Structure 1
Amino acid sequence: MAFTGRSRELRILGSWLDKVRTASGGSAGQALVIKGRRRIGKTRLVQEFCARSGLPYVFFQATRGQPAPLARRALFDAVAGAHGMREHGATLGQAAAPEDWVRTLAAVAAALPADEPVILVLDEVPWLAEADAGFDAALKTAWDMHLSAKPVLLLILGSDLAMMDRLTSYEHPFYGRAGQYTVGPLNPADVQDSTALDAADALDAYLVTGGFPEVVTDWRTGESVADYLTRQVEDPSSVLLTTGERSLAAEFPARLQAGRVLRAIGSGERTFSGIAASTGGADGHPLAHGTLAPILAELIDSKKIVAADLPLSTRPAPKLKRYRIADTYLRFWLAHLENAVAQAERGRGDVSAARIQRSWPSWRGRAVEPVIREALARRVPDGLFPEATEVGGWWNRQNNPEIDLIGADAQPVARRLFFAGSVKWRDETPFGVRDLAELASAVQQVPGAEGAALIAVSRRPPTGAAAEGLAAHWGPEDVLAVWR
C-alpha cells in the first residue's frame, strides 16, 4: 500500500527522535506512547518513519493470544533480525528467552548500540499485557534500569484506547515516563492529495472514506465519487465494504447491544430516548437508562466512536445533548453499506448504488457539518474573529431551528458569541437570499447571539444580496486550507 500524507505526524515523531539525537530530553532515551483506533495506520506510519530515519531499528509486533514465553522469544528474534542491528542483536538469536519480561527487556537493552541512536518499536502492547499481567510493571522497571540509559526512542503502540490511556495514567507504573500521541485518520487535505480531486469532491471523498488509509489508497486518481462508489459496491470484498465490518468485529466482539446502539445513531437517532427506543429488544421495550448510559459512555470515552454535543450559547442546556458517530468512515458505512455486501454477493451492487444516490444529498448535508466545525475550530482565532476560540452549533428541544455554526469564547456555555453561521453543501444552488433570511431569523432565538456576525460555508459561493449580508463566506478550498 502506498504511503500517503502524514507530514504532521512524521514531523512530530522526528521531534522526539531529535531529543534522542541531541540528548536534550533529560535522559539518553525517550519513550512515546502512540495510540489510535484499529486500521487507522499507526503501524504503517511508524514503519515509514523508521525507514526514513536511516537509523538502526527494531520493530516488534505482538500477536493476540500468543503466550508470554513465545512473545518473549519473538522479541529476541525481532532484535536479532532487525534493520542495522545484526551485529548487536546476533547473540539474542541464539539465546534462550528469560522467563520474565524484566530480564527479557534488560537483554534487549543490552543488545542495543550505546554509541548511536536506535528506535525500538513495541506494537500491540495491549496484547502483551493481556497475556501477562506483569508486563506493565516490567516495562517500567526495564525502562528505569536499562532502556532509558541508552540513546533509544521507544515507541509503544496500541489500538485498545482505554488500555493505552491507563498505561500513562497516574495509577500506572509507567506514569510520567512517556509522552502521548494519538494517530487519527488521514485529514481531508491528505485525501485530496491522494485522490487528485478538486476541493469540493475531495471533501466528499473524505466523507465516504473517513481518511482510513487503506480505503483512501483504493481510490483511483481523479475518479469521481459516483464512479468510486459504483465500483466498490459491486465487489463484496472491496475495502470500502469490508473495513467497517472488520473494525466493528475487532472492537466489539460479541457486544450485540453496543452494535445496536451504534446502528441506531448511524441511522439518524440523535437523542438518548430515541436511541433507547431504537435499540429495544424483541418485546419492543426501549433499553433501560441504566443499560444504555454505560454503553454510550464506553462508545464516547473509551472507544471514541461516538461524540456527544451540547448546544453552544450563553445559556446552559445539559438536557439537549445530541449524539453522532464521530468516526467519519463508520458514519457513512452504518448509514449506507452494512447490507451492501449481501447485495454485492447477489450481483446487485446497483441496488446499493441507487440507494446511496437517493439519500446522498440529505445525508451529506448533515455529515459535512462536523467536518466544517472542525475546520473553523482550527482557523479561529483569526483576523476576522480574534476572540473566538470555540466552534459549535445550537438547537432547541424541537431541533427547530438548528444553527450549524456558532463561534464563541468558551463552550458549552460561552460568555460571548461572535458569529453564527449556516452550512449549505448543495451541488448546484448557491447560498442565496432565502438562506440568509432563514439564518438571520433563527439566530434571534439563540441566547447571547445579539450582534453576532452572520457567516456561511457552502460548495457554491453566495450571490448578490446574500453575499453582501454575510460577514464572511468560506468555500471548499478554504475548508481544506486549514489542514495544509
Structure 2
Amino acid sequence: MHGFVGRRRELGLLDDLLTPLKARERGTRRGRAVLLRGRRRVGKSRLVEEFLERSELPHVFFTAVGGSRDGDLAAFGAEIAASTLPDAPRFADFAVPQTWDAAFALLVAALPRDQPSIVVIDEMPYLIRDDPTFEGALQKAFDRSLAKLPVLLILIGSDLAMMEQLNTYGRPFYQRGTEMVVPPLNPAEVSSMLGLPPAESFDAYLISGGLPLILEEWPRGAGTVEYLEQALRRPTSALLVSGERALAAEFPTEAQARLVLSTIGHGERTFTSIARASGDLNPGAAKRALGILTARRIVAAELPLSARPSRETRYRIDDPYLRFWLSFVGPGIPMIERGRGDRVLETIRTNWTTWRGRAIEPVVREALRRLTDESLPAGTDAVGGYWTRTNDPEIDIVGADRAPIAKQITVVGSIKWLENKPFDQRDLARLIRHRSQLPGADDVTPLLAVSRHGCTARDVVHISPDVLISAWE
C-alpha cells in the first residue's frame, strides 16, 4: 500500500486559503469558500481528508448521497452533531432540519467564533439537482453568516460542467468562491509513486489514468503485465470497479450517451462511423449524445491543426483510464467473473502495441505543450495533430502559433512508441513526405521525432520518454 503521494500544489492552495483565517486581527478573518472539482475517483475527498488531518482544526465533513432531499438534510444535521466542532454534541437532540435554510442556520450556530474551522460539502451537484432552493440557501447563509466567521467552506463536485457553472454570472454563488481543479496524478507522480522508469511510467499512466485508487493497489516496481495479472484475477480490484461506478454515476439515465461512449472507446473517431457503429443512430440522437459527452469533459472533440480551415472533427475518450477500461476491461468483466482474467490479459497483450500507439498521442501532445519553451521552436503556442478524411496524411504532431487555424506552422513531428524499434531514416522520409502535404508547412519547417526507443535518423530533433516526463516535474 502506498502512502499519500503528490498533491503538494493542491495542499498548498488550500493552505493559502486557510492562512488569513488564522490571523490574529479579527478584521482579516473573513470566511472563505473554494469550489473544488475533478473527475470521479481522482482523490478529491482523500485530498481534503489529508488537508483536514494536517490542519488539526475543528471541522465537519458532509457527503451528499442524492436522490432524497429529506435524507440529505437529515444526514447533514447528523454530521454536524458527530463532527469535531467544539459544541457539536449539544446538537444531537435538535430536530432534523426541513429546509436548507434551516440546515445552514444549524451549521452557523455550531461553528466556533474564536478560532478557525473547516466545513466540507462533498458531492454538491447532487444537492443542486435534488433541490432547486439549495444554491440560493447556500448563498444567503454565506453572505449573512459564514463570510463573517473564520471558516473555510470547501464545496466538492465531480460534475465538472455543473461545478464550473456555479461560479458564472447570474448564479447565486457567483464570485463567492475560489475555483480549484484536482487533476488525476500526472505521469511524473505515477513514476514517483511506482518507482518505474519513464517509459514504463507512461504505460502505467495509460492504464490507471493517474487514479490514486488504482495506483495504490499497483505493487511498487511492478510492470504492466505483473499488475494486470493480479488485478484481472480480482473482480473487486479498483481497475475493474472504478469504470463501472464512474459510468453509473455519470449516466444514470442516458443510455444512448453510454452507447456512444462505448463506441468511441472501441476506436471509432468520426461522427459518421460513431453513429453507424452505435446501431445506426439518427444524426440528431448521435449529436445529442456527443453533446452530453463533450459537455461533461468525458469525450474531447478535436479539429486538425493547420493553416487551412477544416471540419473533420474527431472524437476521443479524454480520460486514459476510461479509454483502457472501455477497450478491454468492461467487455471482459463477465469473463473475469468466471475466473478467466487470463483470457482478458491475452486480449490486452495481443492489442497492446496498437492500442498504446494511439492512446499515447494526446499525452505526448500535452507534454509538448508544457515543454514548448525548452523543446519546441519559439512561437509555438499550440500543439495538435493533422488529418484528412482519408487519413492521407495523418500527422501526429503539429506545432503552431495558434489553433485550430494557424498563421504559422512552427514544427511537424511523428510519434513512434514501440518497445525495440527506434525512429529511423524510413520514418523520417515518411514524415518529410507528410510535411509537404500539410497546409502552412514548407521544406524548412523543423522536424520532431518522439520515440520510446531512441532515434537513428539524422536532421531531426529527438524527444525521449525522459524528456517528456520532465514536463510534469
Shorter-normalised TM range:
over 0.9
Residue 454 of structure 2 corresponds to residue 461 of structure 1: yes
Deviations 1:390-412 (A, max 9, x none): 11111122112211111111111
Q: For residue 67 of structure 2, what is the amino acid of its counterpart?
A: G
Identify the match of residue 50 of structure 1 among 35, 52, 61. Answer: 52
Deviations 1:14-35 (A, max 9, x none): 2222343458998711111112
Please tell me the root mean square deviation across aligned C-alpha atoms, in Å. 2.0
Distance (whole Å) between structure 2 residues aligned to residue 124 and residue 245 of structure 1: 18
Q: Check 1:26–1:444 CA distance in 2 against 1; reply closer, same or farther (3 A cut).
A: farther
Q: Is the contact between residue 228 and residue 345 of structure 2 (CA under 8 Å) also seen in structure 1?
A: yes
Deviations 1:133-162 (A, max 9, x none): 211100000000000011111110112233
Distance (whole Å) between structure 2 residues aligned to residue 24 and residue 40 of structure 1: 36
Distance (whole Å) between structure 2 residues aligned to residue 384 and residue 37 of structure 1: 30
Q: Check 1:233–1:172 CA distance in 2 against 1; reply closer, same or farther (3 A cut).
A: same
Q: Check 1:18–1:406 CA distance in 2 against 1; reply closer, same or farther (3 A cut).
A: farther
SS in 1 for 2:147: helix
Q: For residue 150 of structure 1, what is the amino acid of its counterpart?
A: L
How far 1:384 moved relative to its partner? 4.9
Deviations 1:76-105 (A, max 9, x none): 33233323x2x2333323322443222321
Deviations 1:209-235 (A, max 9, x none): 111111111101111111111222222
Residue 356 of structure 2 corresponds to residue 364 of structure 1: yes
Deviations 1:361-390 (A, max 9, x none): 111011000000011111223475232111
Residue 8 of structure 2 corresponds to residue 7 of structure 1: yes
1:475 maps to what in 2?
464
1:435 maps to what in 2?
427
SS in 1 for 2:345: helix
1:179 maps to what in 2?
178
SS in 2 for 1:337: helix
Deviations 1:222-249 (A, max 9, x none): 1111111122222233221222122112
Distance (whole Å) between structure 1 residues aligned to residue 282 and residue 26 of structure 2: 54
Q: Check 1:35–1:442 CA distance in 2 against 1; reply closer, same or farther (3 A cut).
A: same
Alignment of 1:15-30 (within 5 A): 15-22=16-23, 28-30=30-32
1:283 maps to what in 2?
none
Residue 218 of structure 2 corresponds to residue 219 of structure 1: yes
Identify the match of residue 60 of structure 1 among 62, 65, 68. Answer: 62
Identify the match of residue 403 of structure 2 among 405, 411, 422. Answer: 411
SS in 1 for 2:397: strand
Provide TM-score, normalisation by structure 2.
0.95
Alignment of 1:184-263 (within 5 A): 184-263=183-262
Distance (whole Å) between structure 2 residues aligned to residue 383 and residue 402 of structure 1: 22
How far 1:202 moved relative to its partner? 0.7
Distance (whole Å) between structure 2 residues aligned to residue 100 and residue 338 of structure 1: 41
How far 1:251 moved relative to its partner? 1.2
Distance (whole Å) between structure 1 residues aligned to residue 342 and residue 106 of structure 2: 58
SS in 1 for 2:421: coil
Q: Check 1:7–1:407 CA distance in 2 against 1; reply closer, same or farther (3 A cut).
A: same
Alignment of 1:256-335 (within 5 A): 256-280=255-279, 286-301=280-295, 303-317=296-310, 319-335=311-327
Deviations 1:430-482 (A, max 9, x none): 1111111111110111111123211111111212xx1x311x22111111111
Q: For residue 34 of structure 2, what is the amino acid of its counterpart?
A: L
Q: Is the contact between residue 391 and residue 408 of structure 1 (CA under 8 Å) also seen in structure 2?
A: yes
SS in 2 for 1:405: strand
How far 1:256 moved relative to its partner? 2.1
Residue 32 of structure 2 corresponds to residue 36 of structure 1: no
Q: For residue 369 of structure 1, what is the amino acid of its counterpart?
A: E
Q: For residue 440 of structure 1, what is the amino acid of its counterpart?
A: I
Distance (whole Å) between structure 1 residues aligned to residue 154 and residue 220 of structure 2: 33
Distance (whole Å) between structure 1 residues aligned to residue 415 and residue 371 of structure 2: 16
Deviations 1:317-355 (A, max 9, x none): 1x2111111111011111111222211222222211111
Amino-acid identity (%): 44
Distance (whole Å) between structure 1 residues aligned to residue 315 and residue 8 of structure 2: 32
Q: Check 1:145–1:356 CA distance in 2 against 1; reply closer, same or farther (3 A cut).
A: same
Q: 216-225 or 168-177: which moved more?
A: 168-177
Distance (whole Å) between structure 2 residues aligned to residue 229 and residue 266 of structure 1: 19
Q: Is the contact between residue 236 and residue 342 of structure 1 (CA under 8 Å) also seen in structure 2?
A: no
Distance (whole Å) between structure 1 residues aligned to residue 334 and residue 395 of structure 2: 38
Q: For residue 35 of structure 2, what is the amino acid of its counterpart?
A: V
Distance (whole Å) between structure 2 residues aligned to residue 54 and residue 27 of structure 1: 18
Distance (whole Å) between structure 1 residues aligned to residue 251 and residue 394 of structure 2: 33
Q: For residue 295 of structure 1, what is the amino acid of its counterpart?
A: A
Q: Is the contact between residue 376 and residue 411 of structure 2 (CA under 8 Å) also seen in structure 1?
A: no
Distance (whole Å) between structure 2 residues aligned to residue 474 and residue 240 of structure 1: 31
Deviations 1:44-98 (A, max 9, x none): 1111111112222221112222433x43343233233323x2x233332332244
Distance (whole Å) between structure 1 residues aligned to residue 178 and residue 26 of structure 2: 15
Distance (whole Å) between structure 1 residues aligned to residue 313 and residue 361 of structure 2: 16
Distance (whole Å) between structure 1 residues aligned to residue 14 and residue 436 of structure 2: 47
Distance (whole Å) between structure 1 residues aligned to residue 340 and residue 126 of structure 2: 40
Q: Check 1:413–1:19 CA distance in 2 against 1; reply closer, same or farther (3 A cut).
A: farther
Distance (whole Å) between structure 2 residues aligned to residue 334 and residue 252 of structure 1: 15
